[in-house]
Amino acid sequence: MAKGNSSNSGYGCLILIALAIAYMVNKCYDGGRTPAIKKNEATSKSSYQRSNMADFFQEEELSQEDKQYANNSLSTGASPYTSYYGKNYKCPYGQCSGIRVTAPAESDIIVIIKKDNQDGKVMSHGYIRAGQTFQFDIPDGTYQTFFYYGEGWNPNKDMGNGIKGGFVKEEIFSKDNPQEIYSGILSYVLQLQRDGNFQAKGSNRGEIF
């Protein structure tokens, strides 16, 4: 959160809360579940409103290997792609900026945070179990956050580019636009809703990985 100290001359710190609620396109046209993002950003910037979406993929029959992992999950905060992306950024000070994500109650997620845009360096990534919250440390700057939803974690699944580990069913890929974060926390509360009817912003496996 943006911060400042009051002085004897009466100047203080003005805290502006930026609140954006984003809905995503319906997975099934007959009223199926739709991911939505409720985003709260506490920074020194003014309020704004945007929309996001998810890109949905046809469910296929599970392979014998995938069936073995259909109920498998990692612990919240696990970083399964460390061998590819390297270790997550860790704040060297007492307080840093951050990105806080709450997973939907119905789905586990992988969060991938890239510097600047989709072509940038991955600063942090992590697994979050359904309904749980995790915060990633980041230095001040511009970041784009990607969300990979799903069920059943298969550590051997090939995601492309030499990356191993992915969900075996209910896969959804989505993202936010690049955001500037300075002395603040950007929070995402992910939800699965029915009848989402706002323009949305999707992603895909190749863009994330």
pLDDT at 208: 87
What does the pLDDT read at residue 133? 98
Looking at residue 61, what is its pLDDT?
82
The pLDDT of residue 19: 30
Which residues does residue 43 pair with via DSSP β-bridges, in sequence order?
16
The predicted model scores a pTM of 0.72
Kindly report the length of the chain: 209
Predicted pLDDT at 20 = 32
DSSP state letters, 40-109: EEEESSPP------EEE----PPPHHHHHTTT--PPTT--TTHHHH-SPP--SSS--EEEEEE--TT-EE
Per-residue pLDDT of the chain (209 residues; tens, 9 = 90+): 433 333 333 333 222 222 332 322 233 323 344 455 556 544 323 222 233 334 444 456 888 889 999 999 999 999 999 999 999 999 888 778 999 999 999 999 999 999 999 999 999 999 999 999 999 999 999 999 999 999 999 999 999 989 999 999 999 999 999 999 999 999 999 886 654 433 336 788 888 88
Contact 153, 159 (CB under 8 A): no
What is the b/e burial string over 69-97, where b = at least 16 CB atoms within 10 angstroms of the residue's CB? beeeebebebbbbeeebeebbeeeeeebb
